[in-house]
Amino acid sequence: MAQLKVKPSKLSGEVTAPPSKSYTHRAFMIAALARGESKITNPLLGFDTEATIEAARALGAEIAREGNVWRVRGTGGRLKPRVDLIDARNSGTTIRMMSAIAALSPKPVHLTGDESILKRPMGPLVEALEKLGAKARCEGANGRPPVVVGGGLRGGEVEITGAVSSQFISALLLAAPYALEDVKLTITEELRSKPYVEITLELLDSAGVKIRRNRSLTEFKIPGGQVFKPLELTVPGDFSSAAFVLGAAALTGSTVRVNNLDVRGAQGDRRIVDLLDEFGAEVRVKGKTVEVSGNGELSGIEADCGNNPDLVPVLAVLGSVADGRTRLTNIPHLRFKETDRLRALATELRKLGAEVEELPDELRLEGVGQLRGARLSSYGDHRMAMAFAVAGLAARGKTIVDGAESIPVSYPGFVKDMRKLGAKMELVE
């Protein structure tokens, strides 16, 4: 198990945001289903996205790399699985979306993953695929993986909850155009993480897919028998990952610039720019560069994070020291990530001296001004590891984060970038 040793630090300088994990996953999936050759430039190469690339190959796509450009010759929706088992590793995006895509296979495909993945809810998606005509089942208890799917989609009408994971909705949107008949998809309960569905729709639109939807994204009418056109995409920078760097600047009273961030794009986590401003940091946006200057005086905020769950870890760290109360609300779905992130944040931030109240669907933090170093567990979760590393930059004494080997899931260059900015951070394998 790798450890990250962190000491109090001031930061300065600039780095480039890593490519978006969300866009990379979806681009390779759509390319795998398209007819013809897609060109994907600057994808994120992390543990999760590599699982998706291997899954695309396993289902029949031909994928070749030329430097920073990847060429994908798709299947046109006629999947020809090369293996019977797909390993999603630690990637919830991979197992959920690839389960829907694999439902188009003429023969059964098994999908599994690591210990964390085997605890992730899959029942609502598998039931929806069954209603659309696929042969689909969960082999784990209570609608958990492994999953077995195949047989193709007939079409029809189906409902699915939006409260557990937006990945269910994205998964169905990726596969439904290849159903034999039209599909009507209705979302019940609140659609959380809505911006991720918007990213899926943006890329499907680019592939020429016809999907009629209402403004609230609760009803979709999808003509069957479609075939995706090839994609040509340069993957944008990732706000979810950049948030840790920008948040670190606000926390430590430093000035940092992050390049390759498009505040006009579809990523919901671009909201970090506004939230850091609410905390009291000075934020400047020029073109695709975001600069954050911390002044050492942060004030607590209240934020509904239902659409921005990946920002909660770094927001919780900021709230633990910001003057007054911080409330991060509408986040019950954080309990179904790589770990129960609400429980993990509350447990580990308390070790740093933070005052945290954990509720079923929110975190409340009373700022303590100064954290103290401690030994923390990341629970094998990349966002926990990075959040606690950021906390250590402003904690008195040394902080040790166990389980730092998970960081390359979403931000392989995190430690290198932070050290470039002046962070006293050492990765010990």
Tell me the C-alpha distance between 205 and 236, whole Å: 17
Beta bridge partners of 285: 290
Catalytic residue status for 310: yes
Tokens of residue 300, six digits: 């607590």
How many other C-beta atoms are found inside a 10 Å radius of the C-beta of residue 369? 10
Tell me the C-alpha distance between 380 and 409, whole Å: 10
Q: Sign of dihedral through CA atoms 130, 134, 135, 139?
A: negative
How many other C-beta atoms are found inside a 10 Å radius of the C-beta of residue 106? 12
Tokens of residue 423, six digits: 């962070």
Active-site hit among 48, 87, 238, 310 = 310
Tell me the C-alpha distance between 116 and 133, whole Å: 29
Q: Directed axis angle between helix 123-131 and helix 92-102, to 10°?
A: 10
In 3D space, the residue among 45, 24, 8, 13 whose CA is nearest the CA of residue 412 turns out to be 45
Catalytic residues: 310
